[in-house]
């Protein structure tokens, strides 16, 4: 029997694991110490699914078991750590507790999943008085569908109750960005001792780098002979701890050519930084490009600094740090660059992303066409 009560009153899972090919003795997988029969049943399903790789239709399976199976698949597929962490956060914050009493996922219906989404629409975001954003809700629903898909592939049930739930429509907000004049006004707000931060934002505006990509840069990533920056990694934060990972997408790994003026500013700063920190390191090439102390700069520190600096002038249009990417894209478009150049600079995985995001910034060609028709007709 797979599940039995032990002499100590706790439940035991005892599963056959086939026969030893040498001794021909039966091998068993035994786990002890479960307080309730329900816990033991869940453990049996997990052991059969994960450790014995069994497929069995009609089994009572729970969300936590399916999520463990999904994590195992993600590990095999070498998913990025930052991706896994975001997924864990969404699962633990929004899915785990809601479905904690469900002892058989196979019984869940479309209506159950629809009600879960309605629950999310009423939920207030953490550290905020606002409801969860539509984009966040859609991401949670995508994760839930992925969790159900695992059970479908394993043969635990015959349909995915989340499959027919459509994405909530996302209302596009007006894109915010700065012109060169607005950016120059922003630069005038910095104090001399904040030069390293000023240089960071100059790089963001001039290259379109993501903040995480800029903070992951060391001097080894900059080639002053060719005036190029090689982006290969990015900083992300998980539970308050800073980590370095690969870029967001494969296309995110790229080389960006920088203008000569910015190149000279970076070279001058490298010399200044080397002098500032020479007593703390034997190899200045490994220093974070924008640090001005032995401690590296974090995303959180930059966000706080940005908020403090932008508040020095209440006439300056308020934007987010991510909007420096949009500002750079706008700058390129105004200079007549096409979609492919913008895509390469920003490191978009698909040209579709570039077109969907920035098509409205491109001047209409219809007036030019009308003028040509006037000349022809």
Q: Is residue 280 part of a domain?
A: yes
Same domain, yes or no: 189 and 295: yes
Q: Which residues are part of the catalytic machinery?
A: 210, 248, 322, 325, 348, 358
Same domain, yes or no: 143 and 192: no
Same domain, yes or no: 294 and 233: yes
The yes-or-no verdict on residue 153 having pLDDT over 70 is yes
Give SS3 for 293. Answer: coil
Over residues 166-178, mean pLDDT: 86
CATH number at residue 346: 1.10.443.10
Spell out a b/e string for 302-332, using b for 16 or more CB atoms within 10 Å of the CB, else e.
beebbeebbeeeeebeebebebbbbbbbbbb
**Whole-prediction pTM:** 0.69
pLDDT in tens, 99-133: 998 988 888 999 999 999 999 999 987 777 788 98
Same domain, yes or no: 223 and 129: no
Same domain, yes or no: 346 and 311: yes
Structural contact between residues 55 and 155, judged by C-beta atoms closer than 8 angstroms: yes
Same domain, yes or no: 194 and 251: yes
| Mean pLDDT, all residues of the chain | 87
Give the domain range for residue 123.
55-154
Number of domains in the chain: 2
CA dihedral sign of residues 119, 124, 125, 127: negative
Same domain, yes or no: 215 and 348: yes
The yes-or-no verdict on residue 368 having pLDDT over 80 is no
Q: Is residue 236 part of a domain?
A: yes
Q: Is residue 356 part of a domain?
A: yes
Q: For residue 322, what are its two tokens?
A: 């991510």
Same domain, yes or no: 245 and 107: no
In the prediction, which pLDDT does 365 show? 55
Q: Is residue 240 part of a domain?
A: yes
Q: Is residue 293 part of a domain?
A: yes
**What proportion of the chain, given as a percentage, has pLDDT over 70?**
91
CA dihedral sign of residues 339, 344, 346, 348: positive
Structural contact between residues 327 and 205, judged by C-beta atoms closer than 8 angstroms: yes
CA–CA distance, 316 with 322 (Å, rounded to integer) = 17
* Paired strand residues for 256: 229
Same domain, yes or no: 318 and 196: yes
pLDDT in tens, 291-301: 999 999 999 99
The yes-or-no verdict on residue 217 having pLDDT over 90 is yes
Over residues 17-24, mean pLDDT: 66
């Amino acid at each position: 029997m797979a599940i039995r009560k032990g002499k100590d009153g706790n439940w035991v899972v005892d599963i056959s694991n086939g026969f030893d090919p040498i001794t021909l003795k039966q091998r068993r997988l035994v786990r002890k110490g479960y307080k309730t029969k329900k816990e033991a049943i869940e453990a049996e399903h997990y052991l059969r699914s994960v450790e014995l790789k069994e497929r069995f239709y009609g089994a009572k399976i729970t969300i936590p078991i399916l999520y463990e199976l999904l994590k195992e698949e993600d590990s095999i597929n070498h998913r990025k750590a930052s991706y896994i962490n975001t997924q864990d956060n969404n699962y633990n914050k929004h899915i785990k507790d809601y479905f904690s009493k469900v002892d058989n996922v196979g019984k869940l219906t479309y209506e159950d999943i629809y009600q879960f989404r309605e629950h999310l629409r009423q939920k207030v975001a953490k550290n905020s008085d606002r409801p969860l954003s539509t984009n966040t809700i859609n991401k949670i629903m995508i994760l839930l569908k992925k969790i159900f898909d695992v059970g479908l592939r394993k043969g635990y049930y015959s349909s995915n109750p989340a499959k027919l739930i459509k994405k909530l429509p996302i209302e596009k907000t007006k894109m915010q960005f700065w012109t060169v004049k607005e950016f120059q006004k922003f630069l005038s707000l910095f104090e001399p001792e904040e030069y390293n931060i000023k240089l960071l934002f100059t790089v963001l505006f001039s290259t379109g780098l993501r903040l995480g990509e800029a903070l992951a840069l060391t001097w080894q990533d900059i080639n002053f002979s060719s005036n190029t920056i090689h982006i290969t990694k990015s900083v992300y934060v998980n539970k308050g701890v800073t980590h370095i990972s690969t870029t967001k997408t494969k296309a995110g790994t790229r080389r960006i050519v920088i203008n000569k003026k910015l190149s000279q500013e970076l070279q001058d700063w490298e010399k200044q930084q080397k002098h500032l920190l020479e007593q703390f390191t034997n190899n200045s090439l490994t220093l974070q490009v924008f640090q001005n102390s032995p401690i590296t700069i974090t995303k959180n520190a930059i966000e706080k600094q940005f908020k403090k600096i932008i508040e020095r002038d209440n006439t300056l249009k308020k934007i987010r740090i991510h909007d420096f990417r949009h500002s750079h894209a706008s700058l390129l478009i105004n200079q007549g660059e096409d979609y492919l150049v913008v895509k390469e600079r920003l490191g978009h995985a698909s040209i579709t992303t570039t077109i969907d995001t920035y098509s409205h910034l491109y001047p209409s060609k219809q007036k030019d066409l009308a003028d040509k028709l006037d000349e022809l007709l």
